Amino acid sequence: MKFTMLSHEEDERPVFITGNFNKWNPKDSIYELKPAEENLYSIEIDAKKLPEKIEYKYTRGGWGNVEIDRFGNITPNRKALKSETEKEDEVERWRVNWGPFKEEFFPIVEIISEKFFIPQLNRTRKIWALLPYNYHQTTKDYPVLYLQDAQNLFNEGSAFGNWEIDKKMSILAEYGRGDVIIIAIENGSEDRIKEYVLDYNSITENAEGKKYIRFLADTLKPYVDSVYRTKPEREFTGIGGSSLGALISIYSGFLYPEVYSKLMIFSPSLWVNPENNYPQMNFKNPYDIKVYLYGGELEGSQMTERMELFEKTMEGWESSHSLQFEFKISTNDEGKHQEFYWSQEFPRAVEWLFYDTQEDPKELATKAQLIRNETSGI
């Protein structure tokens, strides 16, 4: 069967077709279209690989780069029958790194405190809450994700750029997957390194990581659960960060597995602990932990190799410790140690950690429409 696609926008990125015939993989090299003429692409797929009723979309290599209509809206799945010999389609626009972003889906940003007191460290910290865009129109309880280095997560003007998590959460909300509260904790500037490593690490004197970890689990989380409509159970609680922020998130998950079940680990500073000598604790009840592990090939310090070793070490724990790991490792051949790349990865990590692992655009679009109807009173 032959699929031909005309793009109304000029774009140098390769084009892929994805659907219920390849588990909705948006960047499957087997299903990359070939350029035919200017802005015209085509592919022939063996009918034996296709179901009787075909559902599909075109992408530029990922869900963050999927086809959209001329207004920037999600388009319904395209449909075809296996008995057809050829399909001719047109695409009006494409997403670029998940954009465009719609203001009506942006999360509600609140400052929990300019100077939230940390009794374990006898200092204060600015802490933010990002609530789902329709938080005040619902009575639902929400899972929570705690993230380090709030200065680099969503505010403009950061020296290193930012993850744009407010924009990325708006995209997830549009797809019906934005029902997560994010608690963003600013780092301690000159105290950042001390707070993000444990006592036995050698990169700084007077490391305070254990005290910071206790603050998150014993002080901040109970406060958040008392103020916002959260799902406080570990099954609905995650923690994450990048670089040293990822490292302290690993320690948090291992020291408090009864609190966190989801770890978002971006470009972790595993070189600080090359022996992977993490706190190993036995528990009466087994704990399952989901770990989304991302790193770029151009980050240096053997990032991706250390990530693979880390995964193997943790899997080795499963038989000797009451832990069960589920890993999702994502690597980027062009990835550098920068906020721009963590920004690209953030929506995929949220989706995998807090929602089903299988990403079906039809289900997402249907759920998103129901949410929009509910919110608008339709």
Taking alpha carbons only, the member of 378, 373, 360 closest to residue 177 is 360
Task: Assess contact for 216 and 252: CB atoms under 8 A.
Answer: yes
Q: At residue 349, does pLDDT exceed 50?
A: yes
Query: What residues pair up with 182 in beta bridges, in sequence order?
Result: 130, 145
pLDDT band at 378 (very low <50, low <70, confident <90, very high): very low
Task: Assess contact for 231 and 259: CB atoms under 8 A.
Answer: no
Judge if 319 and 235 occupy the same domain.
Answer: yes
Judge if 232 and 148 occupy the same domain.
Answer: yes
Judge if 63 and 163 occupy the same domain.
Answer: no
Domain boundary among 67, 94, 121: 94
Judge if 213 and 339 occupy the same domain.
Answer: yes
Judge if 39 and 111 occupy the same domain.
Answer: no
Judge if 133 and 279 occupy the same domain.
Answer: yes
Q: At residue 327, does pLDDT exceed 80?
A: yes
Amino acid 229 reads R
Average pLDDT over residues 97-108: 91
Whole-number average pLDDT of the chain: 89
CA dist 110 → 126, 181, 322 (Å): 11, 11, 38
Q: At residue 178, does pLDDT exceed 50?
A: yes
Taking alpha carbons only, the member of 203, 305, 321, 211 closest to residue 257 is 321
Q: For residues 44, 47, 53 and 56, what is the CA-based torsion angle, rounded to 10 degrees?
A: -30
Q: What is the pLDDT of residue 277?
A: 77
Domain boundary among 32, 62, 94: 94
Judge if pTM exceeds 0.85: no
Q: Looking at residue 273, which CATH number applies to its domain?
A: 3.40.50.1820
Average pLDDT over residues 119-136: 97
Judge if 90 and 107 occupy the same domain.
Answer: no
* Residue 314 C-alpha from the chain's centroid: 21
Q: What is the pLDDT of residue 159?
A: 62
Residue range 187-235, pLDDT digits in tens:
999 999 999 998 665 677 788 999 999 999 999 999 999 999 999 999 9
199 domain residue, yes or no: yes
Judge if 152 and 213 occupy the same domain.
Answer: yes
Distance of alpha carbon 105 from alpha carbon 227, whole angstroms: 22
374 domain residue, yes or no: no
Judge if 268 and 189 occupy the same domain.
Answer: yes
Task: Assess contact for 367 and 356: CB atoms under 8 A.
Answer: no
Tell me the percentage of the chain whose pLDDT exceeds 70: 89
Judge if 159 and 211 occupy the same domain.
Answer: yes
More confident residue, 275 or 67: 67
Judge if 90 and 118 occupy the same domain.
Answer: no
307 domain residue, yes or no: yes
Judge if 210 and 153 occupy the same domain.
Answer: yes
377 domain residue, yes or no: no
378 domain residue, yes or no: no
Instruction: Give me the phi and psi of 248, to 5 degrees please.
Output: -70, -25
Residue range 257-302, pLDDT digits in tens:
999 999 999 999 999 888 877 775 555 567 899 999 999 999 987 8
Q: At residue 362, does pLDDT exceed 60?
A: no
Domain boundary among 42, 73, 94: 94
Which residue is it, tokens 């759920």?
A: 367
User: What is the number of domains present in the chain?
Assistant: 2
Instruction: Give me the phi and psi of 94, to 5 degrees please.
Output: -130, 145
Q: Looking at residue 21, which CATH number applies to its domain?
A: 2.60.40
Strands (E), the chain: 2-7, 16-19, 34-37, 40-44, 53-59, 67-68, 78-81, 86-91, 93-94, 108-118, 123-131, 144-147, 181-185, 237-242, 262-266, 287-296, 323-332
Which residue segment(s) compose the domain that 238 sits in? 103-368
